[in-house]
Chain A
Amino acid sequence: MNTQQFLLSGWTWNPAVLALCAAALAAYLAAFRLHPRFGYFVAALATILIALVSPLEALADGYLFSAHMTQHILLLLIAPALLLLSLPRALSLPGFLRKFAHPLAGWAAGVGAMWIWHAPTLCNSAAASKPVFALQTVSLLAMGGAFWWQVLARRESERLAPMTAVLYLASSCVACSVLGIIFTFSPVTVCSIYAHPADSLGMLATIRGAWGMTPEKDQQLGGLLMWVPMCLVYLGAVFAQLARWFGEPAPAAALTRENA
């Protein structure tokens, strides 16, 4: 299969994903009607579909570690943030969730998702087994939601103070960069399944040949994706927080909180 054929036929029309997305769309419209923030919701659904239905998923499904990493970033960082932004009004968290809405829990969820799911065993089983992959997808969205809740909750009182949020985001960037650095320079394979793809689509020749993607390059690219673009997402959020801080009307003794 060459690249063009693959881009046309590599779509995995997973009925569960499509049904859930349609249900979510219906639920959003039923709850909030057509709202200016609907655009964020559409973008979030589009992100999820790109991650789970497009040829990216076909590549992530055992072929390329870097595609898997892209999927990871979309599901953990981009989609949950867009979903939170799409909420037109403040939501009250149910009681059991409120316990998790602690900055340390949010930080651990956002950073831990990356570290835990890349332990070699889990990384391999997520690529090999459908139920584990489904669990991974749901957990990434949930952990991403818990992470971004601290920064993007609609109610000001539920968000971190701007300068604390800067620290929260910048330290997440560092924590993910470290993992990215390990992948980039690691002389050993992290997810061995990507080193020997099962080649169910007959794409391996194209990937190794026309794309020139060896397992080593693939892992390096995956590490770099986590190291640089992912960090830039956090840094972009840092600048949004700085803008929020400077634009804040009330004087904030903001920096005192995290050190007290």
Chain B
Amino acid sequence: MNTARAALLLDQDQRTHWQLAWLSTVDHKRIGILYMLTALVFFAFGGVEALFMRLQLAIPNNKFLHPDTFNTLFTMHGTTMIFLVIMPMMFGFANYFVPLMIGARDMAFPRLNAFSFWLLPFGGLLLHFSVLAGGAPAMGWFAYAPLNETPYSSQLGVDYWAVALLVMGIGSVGTAINLAVTVLCLRTPGMTLRRLPLFVWINFVNAFIVILAIPVLNAALVMLLIDRRFGGHFFLPSADGNGGSAIMWQHIFWAFGHPEVYILILPAFGIVSEIIPVFSRKPIFGYEFVAGSSVAIGLLSFAVWSHHMFTVGLGFALNVFFSAASMLIAIPTGVKVLNWSVTLFRGRIRFTTAMLFCIAFLVQFLCGGLTGISHAIVPLDWQTKNSYFLVAHFHFVAGGGSLFAILAGLYYWFPKMTGVMLSEKLGKWTFALMTLGFNMTFLIQHVLGLAGMPRRVYTYPDLPGWGWMNMVSTIGAFLMAVATLLLLWNICVSLLNGKPAGENPWNAWTLEWATSSPPLHENFYELPPIRGRRPLWDFANPDRPDPPVGGGAADIVAPEKNKVSVTAFITSEVGFFGVLILAFLFYNAGSHPGPNAKDLDLLKTGIFSLCLFASSFTIWRSETAQHRGNLRAMTGWLALTILLGGIFLVGQGLEYWGLFKSGVVVGTNLFATTFFTLTGFHGIHVTVGLIALLVVLGLALAGDFKARPSPALAAVGIYWHFVDVVWVFVLCVVYILPRLR
């Protein structure tokens, strides 16, 4: 290392405090590992919960667990595994390897990254604190209404569950925005979007799914909390027909829930798309198709949620359309399976543990995909949905798919993260036990389901075949537990005296292998030139490099990251407000007794709205002034913007006060519930915008913008315009539209 480069790196002594402070770290690698460790802890929770359930189900008519305990375990197992194990694990891999693979030094917003991560353990603690606060949730991870409502779940468990998911959801959106911005803005020269490693490409697509899907869940959760805490009426039907709609919960939940299953599986696709080529010693077959089919899956995932609701009885037309649309998803996933299989075909395959898990992934995911298609066929779905057949299908995709890919990724990247190899011998034992245990647990559940065993039951009668099949399933679950312990043992032993890994133990081709193991704090000393999709192959084989992709070493014109991040953020907000606005339309379509939208004072609100709309103009003037370098005008227009926003809030406050005085509160009727929710959340957003504007104003007055123009004003400006645009819709839907009828 020459001295000039050494000077760029921080002095080791200066970093000692940093070495100790995992708690305050903003390094993407440490945050990635923190994500994985958190996931591991909760995996232990979720796994033990599963084992208790399997013990209860091992024999017919078992009285080992109380039915309520079983329901609690089964709710916590689902919630934990999805939100606290698979998602964090995938975020951990993405956090660690996306910046490395694109040759970046860190994520785009390191502190946002740390914040997003710490929301995860906080959410996990909230969820589990419900056990101490008088009873964990027991309504299933899908929390169907009206079981999730106060009359049926009166303890605090559901509230903790909702708040925990809300907290973790905000963290997930933060991480997703960070990942998307990192990929868009921080790629090293030469790393064009068409040369991205597939892991990065797929995580990029996945980030958009997270940004669009999670806010839909957040909207459902706040509606649920308003029902439970403020006596709202969203999801609780009433006898007089003026109550809410329980099916609405299912629609919103699955509008999130179906994209969610792709949030769980897409990063898994990314992992195997990296590992299979390396251990087949071939470039991936049909890169473009793997990348493109990910986009297809991402887009289709939002258009098929109703297939989770065939058994609700939505009607013939809905069933037909969603059956057809759901079957379409088989095309892009089938394309991917073909790509991986052809990559294996005639490859010089090295059966490392990572590769074995990838092959198992292929087989299990294919089976899970095929049973998935069977659920797109409506009559078949009616027969099997409420049986163990669906449990088997889901676990084949989430376990055989996501979990096996995670294990493959762990064996593949452990040397990079720690500098030592995991023991291959122990690894192969883990693999054998895991796959055997997995198939014992879940393969037989297909048969159980077809034999009629319903899911979500705490025990079952001694019908022919049910007893021994459940016993096999339970033994399988314990084999998986042994395999997990073996994996932990392997990690401990290898960390203590594993074989040193070196920079590139697998002769892989992507940039994370172009640095030391573990990577230094700054990630890279220097990067090889990037002309194609396998820079390290080109570097190692200058005589026979890959054909270059996308012409010469195109430089990247990175967009401004603050603007991109705000744009991504308001995209997610569109999903949130979209649900609230649609809910308002739906619930106020009919007429209900009591106060309704026609009682609102359109004139007064119209005047205050003009203030808000005018503030969009003033902030634009402020930006223009900043652009011209006129700081006085900038601060003046900015102060005027804040004043106008403040007046709007006062107007809203007056309207609320008037309603409260006449006895209209959230719980009065459906109109009041939807009105206060929609306008209230808009008001919160205006308040947040005002705080951001005040911060910018404070910085401007302190002279921060004198030296150079800051992107902060433009970024806050985009958000402020968005808040105004939302109000245009709210004004139309809440104040104007009801008067037209």
List residues of A whose CB falls within 8 A of some B CB: 163, 166, 170, 173-174, 177-178, 181-182, 184-188, 217, 220-221, 224, 227-229, 231-232, 235, 238-239, 242-243, 245-246, 249-256, 259-260
* Contacting residues, chain A, for B300 (C-beta < 8 A): 235
- A238 — which chain B residues lie within 8 A by C-beta? 295, 299
Q: Which residues of A contact B194 (CB under 8 A)?
A: 245-246, 251
Tell me whether A173 and B585 are in contact (CB under 8 A).
no
A224 to B251, CA, bound (A): 15
The smallest beta-carbon distance between A208 and chain B, in angstroms, is 16
- Which of A220, A242, A251 is B554 in contact with, Cβ under 8 Å? A251
Contact of A217 among B302, B317, B324 (CB under 8 A): B317
Chain A residues within an 8 Å CB radius of B593: none
Residues of A within 8 A of B303 (CB): 177, 227-228, 231
In angstroms, how far is the closest chain A Cβ from the Cβ of B244?
Answer: 13
- Tell me the residues in window 292-346 of chain B with beta carbons closer than 8 Å to chain A beta carbons: 292, 295-296, 299-300, 302-303, 315-318, 321-322, 324-325, 328
| Least Cβ–Cβ distance between A55 and chain B, in angstroms | 20
Q: How far is the CB of A82 from chain B (nearest CB, A)?
A: 23
A243 touches B292 (CB 8 A): yes
Additional A-B contact list (8), CB under 8 Å, known A228-B322, A235-B299: A177-B302, A177-B303, A186-B589, A239-B292, A246-B292, A250-B551, A256-B558, A259-B567
How many angstroms from the CA of A133 to the CA of B113 in the assembled complex?
A: 55
**Are A259 and B563 closer than 8 Å at their CB atoms?**
yes
The reply on B184 being an interface residue by CB < 8 A is: yes
A188-B590, A228-B325, A251-B192 known; A239 and B296 CB under 8 Å?
yes
Across the interface, B590 reaches (CB within 8 A) one of A187, A251, A256, namely A187
Q: Which residues does chain A contribute within 8 Å of B291, judged by CB atoms?
A: 242, 246
Give the top 8 A-B pairs by smallest Cβ distance, nearest first.
Answer: A251-B554, A259-B559, A251-B550, A246-B288, A256-B557, A228-B321, A242-B292, A224-B321
What are 19 of the A-B contact pairs (CB < 8 Å)?
A166-B295, A186-B585, A187-B586, A217-B315, A224-B317, A228-B303, A229-B321, A231-B303, A235-B299, A242-B291, A242-B292, A246-B194, A246-B291, A251-B194, A251-B551, A251-B554, A256-B556, A259-B560, A260-B557
* Cβ-based interface call for B542 (8 A): no
A251, B552: Cβ atoms closer than 8 Å: yes
- CB contacts (< 8 Å) of A249 on chain B: these are 551
B582: interface (CB < 8 Å): yes
With a cutoff of 8 Å between Cβ atoms, the chain B residues found around residue A177 in the complex are 302-303
* Structural contact, B586 and A259, CB atoms closer than 8 A: no
Q: Which A residue's beta carbon lies closest to that of B591?
A: A188
* Residue B564 is within 8 A (CB to CB) of chain A in the complex: yes
Task: Known contacts A242-B295, A253-B556; decide if A224 and B586 are in contact (CB<8 Å).
Answer: no
Check if B610 is an interface residue, CB within 8 A of chain A. Answer: no
Interchain CB contact under 8 A, A224 and B318: yes
Contact B295–A260 (Cβ < 8 Å): no
- Residues in B555-588 with C-beta less than 8 Å from chain A: 555-560, 563-564, 567, 578, 582, 585-586
In the complex with contacts A182-B585, A235-B299, A256-B559, A221-B554 CB distance below 8 A: no
Q: Which residue of B lies closest to A212 (CB)?
A: B316
* A255 and B184 contacting across the interface, CB-CB below 8 Å: yes
Nearest neighbor of A166 in chain B, beta-carbon distance: B295
Identify the closest chain A residue to B558 (Cβ): A256
State how many residues of chain B have any CB contact under 8 Å with chain A: 42
Inter-chain CB contacts under 8 Å: number: 95
Nearest CB to that of B208 among chain A residues? A170
Name A250's closest neighbour in chain B (CB-CB). Answer: B551
The answer for the CA separation of A11 and B194 in the assembled complex, in Å, is 51
Q: Does B695 contact A (CB under 8 A)?
A: no
B559 touches A260 (CB 8 A): yes
Chain B positions 161-205 with a Cβ under 8 Å from a chain A Cβ = 184, 192-194
* Contact (A221, B317) CB under 8 Å given A239-B292, A259-B567: yes
Q: Is the CB of B554 within 8 A of A253?
A: yes
Q: Which residues on the A side are within 8 Å of B321 (C-beta)?
A: 224, 227-229
What residue of chain A has the Cβ atom nearest to residue B315's Cβ? A220
CA of A182 to CA of B295 in the docked complex: distance in angstroms?
26
Using Cβ atoms and an 8 Å threshold, which residues of chain B touch A186? 585-586, 589
Give the chain A neighbours of B552 by CB distance below 8 A. Answer: 251
Chain A residues whose CB sits within 8 angstroms of the CB of B557 once the complex forms: 253, 256, 260
Least CB separation from A66: chain B residue = B317
B residues within 8 A CB of A235? 296, 299-300
Smallest Cβ distance from B255 to chain A, in angstroms? Answer: 9
In the bound complex, how far is the Cα of B193 from the Cα of A256, in angstroms? 11
- Complex Cα distance, B589 from A182, in Å, reads 11
Chain A residues with CB under 8 A of B318? 184, 220, 224
A185 touches B578 (CB 8 A): no
Shortest CB distance B333–A (Å): 15
The smallest beta-carbon distance between A83 and chain B, in angstroms, is 26
What residues of B have a CB within 8 angstroms of the CB of A253 in the complex?
A: 192, 554-557
Shortest beta-carbon distance, A214 to chain B, in Å?
11
Q: Which residues of A contact B582 (CB under 8 A)?
A: 178, 181-182
Bound Cα distance from A231 to B321, whole angstroms:
12
For A224, what are the chain B residues with a Cβ–Cβ distance below 8 Å? 317-318, 321
Bound CA span A239–B315, Å? 31
Give the CA-CA distance A173 to B299 in the complex, in Å: 10
A217 to B318, CA, bound (A): 10
Q: Which residues of A contact B295 (CB under 8 A)?
A: 166, 238-239, 242
Per the bound structure, the CA–CA distance linking A254 and B735 in Å amounts to 41
- Are B586 and A185 in touch, CB under 8 angstroms? yes
Decide if B317 touches A220 in the complex (CB within 8 Å). yes
Measured CB to CB, the closest approach of chain A to B419, in angstroms, equals: 35
Using Cβ atoms and an 8 Å threshold, which residues of chain B touch A228?
Answer: 303, 321-322, 324-325
A188: chain B residues within 8 A (beta carbon)? 589-590
When distances are taken between beta carbons in the complex, the residues of chain A under 8 Å from B324 are 228
In the bound complex, CA of A97 to CA of B194 (Å): 35
A207 to chain B, nearest CB (A): 15
Residue among B291, B317, B324 having the largest count of chain A Cβ atoms under 10 Å: B317
Q: Known contacts A178-B582, A235-B300: does B564 contact A254 (CB below 8 Å)? A: no
Q: Which of B288, B299, B560 is packed against the most chain A CB atoms within 10 Å?
A: B299
Closest to B287 in A: A246
CA distance in complex: A246, B295 (Å):
13
Q: Which residues of B contact A173 (CB under 8 A)?
A: 299
Find the residue from A186, A235, A243, A254 having the highest chain B CB count within 10 A: A235
Interchain CA distance A255-B558 in the complex, whole Å: 9
Give the residue name and chain of the A residue nearest to B585 (CB). A182
Q: Do B578 and A178 touch across chains, with their CB atoms under 8 A apart?
A: yes
Which A residues lie within 8 Å of B316 (CB)? 217
Contacts of B554 in A (CB 8 A): 251, 253
User: Which residue in chain A gives the minimum CB-CB distance to B299?
Assistant: A235
Report chain A residues within 8 Å CB of B559: 255-256, 259-260
In the complex, A232 Cα to B300 Cα: how many Å?
A: 9
A78 CB to nearest chain B CB (Å): 18
* C-alpha spacing A177/B302, complex, angstroms: 10
Complex Cα–Cα for A122 and B71 (A):
52
On chain A, the residues within 8 Å of B585 by CB distance are 182, 186
| Most chain B CB neighbours (cut-off 10 Å) among A228, A231, A243 | A228
Shortest B418–chain A CB gap in Å is 35
B490 → chain A closest CB, angstroms: 40
A251 to B548, CA, bound (A): 11
Output the least CB separation between B286 and chain A (Å). Answer: 10
B460: min CB distance to chain A, Å: 37
**Cα-based distance from A245 to B195 in the complex (angstroms):** 12
Contact across chains for A255 and B586 when beta carbons are under 8 A apart: no
- Residue numbers in B under 8 Å from A229 (CB-CB): 321
Residue among A170, A228, A229, A251 having the largest count of chain B Cβ atoms under 10 Å:
A251
| Pairwise interchain contact B193-A255, C-beta atoms closer than 8 A | yes
- The residue on B at minimum CB distance from A224 is B321
> In the complex, A246→B324 CA distance in Å?
28
Is A170 in contact with B551, judged by CB distance below 8 angstroms? no
Cα–Cα distance between A177 and B578 once the two chains are bound (Å): 12
Q: How far is the CA of A238 from the CA of B205 in the complex (A)?
A: 14
Cβ contact within 8 Å between A187 and B589: yes
Query: Which residues on the A side are within 8 Å of B317 (C-beta)?
Result: 217, 220-221, 224
